[in-house]
Structure 1
Amino acid sequence: MIRFISVAVFVVLFLILSIPLMVAEWIIGKFNMDVKNRSSLAIVNWAFRWCLRLSGVKITYIGEERVPRDQAVLYIGNHRSYFDILMTYVRVPRPTGYVAKIEMLKIPLLSNWMKNLHCLFLDRNDLKQGAKIILTAIGKIKDGISICIFPEGTRNKVPDTFLPFHAGSFKIAEKSGCPIVPIALNNAGDVFEDHLPKIKKTHVVIEYGEPIYPNELPKEDKKRLADITLERIKEMYFKNKELV
């Protein structure tokens, strides 16, 4: 419980004490949005790194050199833990927004930082709102902001299994022309979710796969984009099980 309390206290203190920074970021954004994007990325990266240190998690990253640095991308990963966001965000090379559930908007201060980081809030029960989120994400990609989605739609609670990927998420890459970067996360649930409310010192393996360029795929493969991406993630996941 000590790790849980340490992380919880740090998060609360960060959110409260960072209010002046949030105001400063708002002012900076009025004059230079690019500077705001990068400063917000640095601030939240710092906070996330401390959360990971306090949690005691050890992370092995594989294939980061495969992530394109010269353009925005669509990250697609399997989802087992809230820590998935922290563990992947600290490695992004450019401002990146995550697609989160709309309930996160109810959390004061945290939701403000998420908005600063270009996060999008999805109501899974509203198809029209979902379509708008896709259009907004396409705009973000075209503006140079990467997007990360866990298209299982919710945290998968069963180890070594995968929920079907929602195909709508992949329209972001199809319409924007950006590459898809598959991410396989091993053992992420063992940090927290598998033994609530304890945070456990554990080892997580995260691998970034070769980018998938939808516009370069044959027509039939474009129709199977969600399945192809899931297959690549599964391949990396089961290959890395022995490393955990």
Structure 2
Amino acid sequence: MAYYAKHTEKYTETQCYKLAMRVMWLIRKKGRISTTAFGSETLPEDGGYIMYANHQGKYDTIGIMTSHKKPCSIVIDSVTAKRLIVNQAVDLVKGKRFVRGDIKQQAGEIVRIIKEVKAGRRYIVFPEAGYDDNKNELIEFHAGSFKMALKAQCPIVPVALWDSWKVFYGRSLKPVKSQVHFLKPIAFEEYKEMNTQQICELVKSRIQEKLDELRAATEEARECEKADTLTKSRFLGVYDWSVLLTYVSLCFGILGSCMAIGSKLANAMACLVLSALFEKLNEKFERAKLAKCGAEEHRYGTHADSLSNLICFGVLPCAIGYAVGLDSMIHMVFYTFYIISVVVRLAYFNAKTESEEDSSKKYLIGLPVLSIAILLPVLYLFKDILGSVYQLIMTCIYPIAGISYISSFRIRKPKALEEREELVAQKNEEIEAGDRVNQ
């Protein structure tokens, strides 16, 4: 490639261009890059024209040139052109280098570009003149870059690049997909009465319109994918990190119940604490997941969490109480009341909408069921000190906790929990809106 670039006089323009394309296709293949082109049929059949594209990253030129059927060239910054392979590729396609700050040099290159476009050559220009982690967003277009098209009196082809930034973003080896959209050409007759600023705004608006269209289509596809998450899985259920933590918490709840039945009280208490820890960890993952998950995933996670809590903080505490020796009929009544209170609380907050008064969003209503995972282990630590009073306190805990679960007194929420509630509220509104549309 370097030899071809140094001795372009020995090879035809077609041979040099084919070699450059071969290298670009090799980069695409080895980089596992898939670029889909749209609108190629709208490109002018004859004559020269200039393609004005939004700039997202280093892959932009490769994406356009490998999607463009006919030979074309590029206008590039002289500093960027010094990079390995880029320098040789620019020579092979007879690209033009602009030296920043050198107005005279740039003017000379512009004159040469105008002559070549009039002679039938096609050029790629990035009017943003750079990129700054803008991804699929446009930044300022420079009106001066449109003087070339105005002087050459040639068609302007707006080009919209989508997801081109992903190719060299980060260090992932996953396959990357990008899109190149050749928009409807703007004939010289359409813009000959305009100044460069007006032409700039016209081209930018058309590219922005296409990007908005692609963004809407992408979001719609993402929502459909979220909705199909449960049905596409080989197995019933959801198995993301948040739900897996719920399953782990449930496992400790079941294990703790078995330990309590076997009179291994210390182990049962440890399982109760671990269940609570994994439940709190699940809340952190859930906050990150709420903005991304679909309606079905959200509902599934909510119900799975409630059923897990029923076992871990409803059944397990009663099994611990039974293991302590609280096995009389009155204790059975207390256990029954306690578990029913847990069910009522969990069912209430599952069914509760977020249309309550604003004050309820800043306060916890009643005592959370996880509080039992603090009360029982703390009491167990002071078991020897309390002596015979220990069983009396344990007896009182179940009816008092049950009443606290279903009471309407308010406790100020921690800030992290308030943020989570806001995310849940937003997700519930999305679900309700989706349900109304389906109806």
Q: What TM-score, normalized to structure 1?
A: 0.80
Pairing of 1:50-89 with structure 2 (within 5 A)? 50-89=26-65
| Kept after mapping to 2: 8 A contact 1:79/1:156 | no
| Kept after mapping to 2: 8 A contact 1:69/1:93 | no
Offset at 1:169?
1.2
Bigger relative CO (Cα 8 Å, ≥ 6 apart): 1
| Kept after mapping to 1: 8 A contact 2:60/2:164 | yes
CA distance in structure 2 between the partners assigned to 1:23 and 1:175 by the alignment: 31
SS at match of 1:211: coil
CA distance in structure 2 between the partners assigned to 1:228 and 1:124 by the alignment: 26
User: Does 2:133 correspond to 1:150?
Assistant: no
Structure 2: runs of 5 or more not aligned: 222-439
User: Does 2:159 correspond to 1:183?
Assistant: yes
Offset at 1:180?
0.6
User: Does 2:151 correspond to 1:206?
Assistant: no
Provide Cα deviations, 1:80-125, integer angstroms capped at 9, x if missing partner: 1111111111122333211111114534664244123121111232
Offset at 1:153?
0.9
Partner of residue 10, structure 2: 27
| Kept after mapping to 1: 8 A contact 2:46/2:120 | no
Amino acid across the alignment from 2:168: F
SS at match of 1:148: strand
| Kept after mapping to 2: 8 A contact 1:63/1:207 | yes
CA distance in structure 2 between the partners assigned to 1:176 and 1:237 by the alignment: 28
| Kept after mapping to 2: 8 A contact 1:205/1:240 | no
SS at match of 2:67: coil
Provide Cα deviations, 1:164-183, integer angstroms capped at 9, x if missing partner: 21111111111111111111
Provide Cα deviations, 1:30-68, integer angstroms capped at 9, x if missing partner: xxxxxx221112111111111111111222211110111
Offset at 1:218?
6.4
Structure 1: runs of 5 or more not aligned: 1-17, 29-35
Pairing of 1:3-42 with structure 2 (within 5 A)? 18-22=1-5, 25-28=8-11, 36-42=12-18
Pairing of 1:64-143 with structure 2 (within 5 A)? 64-107=40-83, 110-143=86-119
Give the number of equivalent residue pairs: 218
CA distance in structure 2 between the partners assigned to 1:140 and 1:156 by the alignment: 31
The 1:108/1:206 distance shift into structure 2, 3 A limit, reads closer
SS at match of 2:111: helix
Offset at 1:159?
2.9
Amino acid across the alignment from 1:80: Q
User: Does 2:204 correspond to 1:230?
Assistant: yes
The 1:123/1:221 distance shift into structure 2, 3 A limit, reads closer
| Kept after mapping to 1: 8 A contact 2:67/2:180 | no
**Structure 1 or 2: larger strand share?**
1
| Kept after mapping to 2: 8 A contact 1:141/1:147 | yes
| Kept after mapping to 2: 8 A contact 1:79/1:185 | yes
Offset at 1:19?
4.1
Partner of residue 215, structure 1: 189
| Kept after mapping to 2: 8 A contact 1:76/1:180 | yes
Q: What TM-score, normalized to structure 2?
A: 0.46
Partner of residue 11, structure 1: none
SS at match of 2:76: strand
The 1:199/1:128 distance shift into structure 2, 3 A limit, reads farther
The 1:161/1:133 distance shift into structure 2, 3 A limit, reads same
User: Does 2:10 correspond to 1:46?
Assistant: no
CA distance in structure 2 between the partners assigned to 1:107 and 1:159 by the alignment: 22
Larger gyration radius, structure 1 or structure 2: 2
The 1:116/1:46 distance shift into structure 2, 3 A limit, reads closer
SS at match of 1:225: helix
The 1:200/1:123 distance shift into structure 2, 3 A limit, reads farther
